[in-house]
């Protein structure tokens, strides 16, 4: 039997896709491209995946863990010689501990499904972003995903207590710790979280749940001075008693395009302002939280830190505000073809950085427009530039301008294929060499997601 026949003997006919069943699937996020992999393997459990990886190791067969295909850096892109590994059949929520606040899941569980399960038990899973209906837990952890609540709860790795993963040779590393405290040697789960599937394939995880906070308050704050943005972040972090769960800043370039130019969204304020801050506070008592939220925001007006404030009066109005913040489709359509970026740097330097980038891009491609928005509360901003004539030229500007500020070329999306050439802007030669040595030690034949992260 050849390799695919041996794999089929392990996973069954339903567990191995070939031919049109493979090419009908996208190769990248947003349905882009046609998957060129020679086959897609769909194991039903960890044991099957381990046996498949043993065979792949024997045959020196490279594999790519595919997740929900919602990534934005081509981290799951396949080549014709690759086998795709999809954990879409591994979607069991194995256990929820209502006392300890933990959830044990298989890696193919969709994020939104896990969120709903936690909610049914009186808890919340504090990972959330726009692709919640497609993103899988395994991919979220492999990329150390961020999202809308990082300012309060941290990145994906902060929501993980334990992990099970399969190595390139089929070895199963079971480290399904359920405790908040476990100081017994190296914290091995951190090797796999954020490794983008290059060190092992995550198969199961123990997730940390948080108390449910259903009393959500939403507002948009108009600001005329960038220095006030940082002051507002600090003040809300204190005055809202640790309940600040979102702090999203939209520069006027962003709001002007989506409100005035495209007409896709309603005007927030009568007068234009350089910055609009979308803030959210989440607590337990709706009446108390609403009154406190309004009082805290009122202080911003009294102190002249804010020029105007719009408080959402219903969940529907809050959803409309978030719809504008998340309107990727509107931006792509207006700026096509766009170049999108996910960077982080100290908040104090953001305005100078954006001005420097905009100045250089205007000189290079004067027909383009630069939009700025993002999770400023956790030092992350997104830039979108378009229409783009020469994308590599734009990328070099955006990433090289981060160097003076010691910024990161990826805040939450990872490196994948797309950012490999720019990794040196954020990591030293010693750091990159150390990462490569870890890869060599764990996957010496470079079988797991080859060519990602490093050149």
Per-residue pLDDT of 259-274, as tens digits, reads 988 889 999 999 999 9
Q: Let me know if residue 449 belongs to a domain.
A: no
Are both 13 and 41 inside the same structural domain?
Answer: yes
Assigned domain for 341 exists: yes
- Region 238-253 average pLDDT: 96
Buried b (16+ CB within 10 A) or exposed e, 370-400: bbbbbbbbbbbbbbbbbebeeeeebbbbbbe
Give the CA radius of gyration of the chain.
23
CA distance 450 to 197: 9
The tens digit of pLDDT for each residue in 287-316 reads: 999 999 999 999 999 999 999 999 999 999
> Is the pLDDT at 186 greater than 90, yes or no?
yes
Cis bond before residue 387 (omega within 30° of 0)? yes
Of 26-35, 56-65, 145-154, 282-291, minimum mean pLDDT range? 26-35
What residue numbers bound the domain in which 78 lies? 3-85
Please say whether the beta carbons of 239 and 296 come within 8 A: yes
Closest residue by Cα to residue 141 from 107, 184, 116, 97: 107
Domain boundary among 211, 230, 249: 211
pLDDT above 80 (res 30): no
409 inside domain? yes
Does 381 have pLDDT greater than 80?
Answer: yes
Same-domain pairing of 321 and 348: no
Beta bridge partners of 455: none
DSSP letter, residue 275: E
Nearest C-alpha neighbor of 397 from the set 153, 388, 105, 61: 388
Q: What percent of the chain has pLDDT over 90?
A: 94
- pLDDT of 388 above 90: yes
- Please tell me the distance from the alpha carbon of residue 48 to that of residue 51, in angstroms, as a whole number: 5
Residues 224 and 146 in one domain: no
Number of domains in the chain: 4
Q: How confident is the model at residue 167 (pLDDT cuts 50, 70, 90)?
A: very high
With cut-offs at 50, 70 and 90, classify the pLDDT of residue 147. confident
In the predicted structure, residue 148 carries a pLDDT above the cut 90 = no
356-366 pLDDT per residue, tens:
999 999 999 99
Whether residues 360 and 398 fall in one domain = yes
Residues 224, 145 within the same domain:
no
Sign of CA dihedral 61, 5, 92, 77: positive
Residue 101: the pLDDT is 98
Q: What is the pTM of this model?
A: 0.93
Q: Tell me the average pLDDT of the chain.
A: 96
Question: Cα(341)–Cα(386) distance, rounded to whole angstroms?
Answer: 12
Do 432 and 336 share a structural domain? yes
């Amino acid at each position: 039997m050849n390799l695919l026949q041996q794999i089929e003997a392990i996973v069954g006919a339903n567990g191995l896709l070939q031919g049109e069943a493979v090419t009908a699937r996208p190769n990248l996020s947003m349905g882009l491209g046609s998957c060129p992999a020679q086959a897609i393997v769909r194991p039903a459990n960890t044991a099957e995946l381990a046996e498949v990886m043993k065979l792949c190791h024997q045959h020196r067969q490279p594999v790519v863990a595919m997740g929900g295909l919602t990534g934005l850096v081509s981290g799951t892109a396949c080549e014709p010689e690759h086998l795709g590994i999809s954990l879409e059949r591994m979607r069991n929520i194995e256990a929820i501990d209502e006392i300890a606040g933990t959830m044990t899941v298989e890696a193919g569980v969709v994020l939104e499904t896990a969120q709903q399960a936690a909610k049914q038990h009186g808890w919340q899973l504090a990972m959330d972003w726009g692709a919640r209906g497609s993103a899988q837990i395994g991919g979220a952890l492999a990329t150390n995903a961020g999202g809308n609540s990082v300012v309060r709860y941290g990145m994906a790795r902060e929501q993980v207590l334990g992990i099970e993963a399969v190595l390139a040779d089929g070895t199963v590393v079971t480290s399904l710790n359920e405790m908040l405290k476990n100081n017994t040697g190296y914290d091995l789960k951190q090797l796999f979280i954020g490794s983008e599937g290059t060190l092992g394939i995550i198969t199961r995880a123990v997730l940390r749940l948080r108390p449910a906070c259903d009393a959500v308050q939403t507002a948009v704050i108009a600001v005329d001075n960038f220095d006030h943005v940082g002051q507002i972040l600090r003040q809300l972090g204190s005055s809202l008693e640790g309940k600040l769960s979102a702090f999203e800043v939209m520069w006027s370039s962003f709001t002007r395009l989506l409100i005035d130019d495209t007409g896709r969204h309603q005007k927030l304020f009568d007068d234009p302002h350089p910055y609009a801050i979308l803030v959210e506070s989440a607590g337990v008592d709706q009446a108390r939280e609403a009154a406190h939220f309004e009082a805290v925001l009122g202080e911003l007006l009294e102190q002249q830190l804010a020029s105007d404030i719009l408080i959402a009066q219903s969940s529907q109005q809050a959803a409309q505000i978030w719809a504008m913040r998340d309107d990727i489709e509107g931006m792509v359509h207006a700026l096509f073809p766009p170049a999108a970026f996910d960077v982080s740097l100290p908040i104090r330097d953001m305005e100078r950085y954006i001005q420097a980038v905009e100045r250089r891009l205007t000189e290079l491609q004067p027909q383009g427009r630069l939009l700025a928005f993002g999770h400023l509360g956790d030092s992350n901003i997104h830039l979108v530039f378009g229409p783009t004539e020469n994308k590599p030229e734009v990328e070099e500007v955006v990433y090289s301008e981060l160097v003076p500020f010691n910024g990161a070329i990826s805040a939450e999306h990872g490196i994948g294929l797309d950012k490999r050439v720019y990794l040196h802007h954020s990591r030293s030669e010693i750091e990159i060499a150390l990462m490569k040595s870890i890869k060599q030690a764990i996957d010496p034949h470079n079988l797991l997601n080859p060519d990602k992260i490093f050149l």
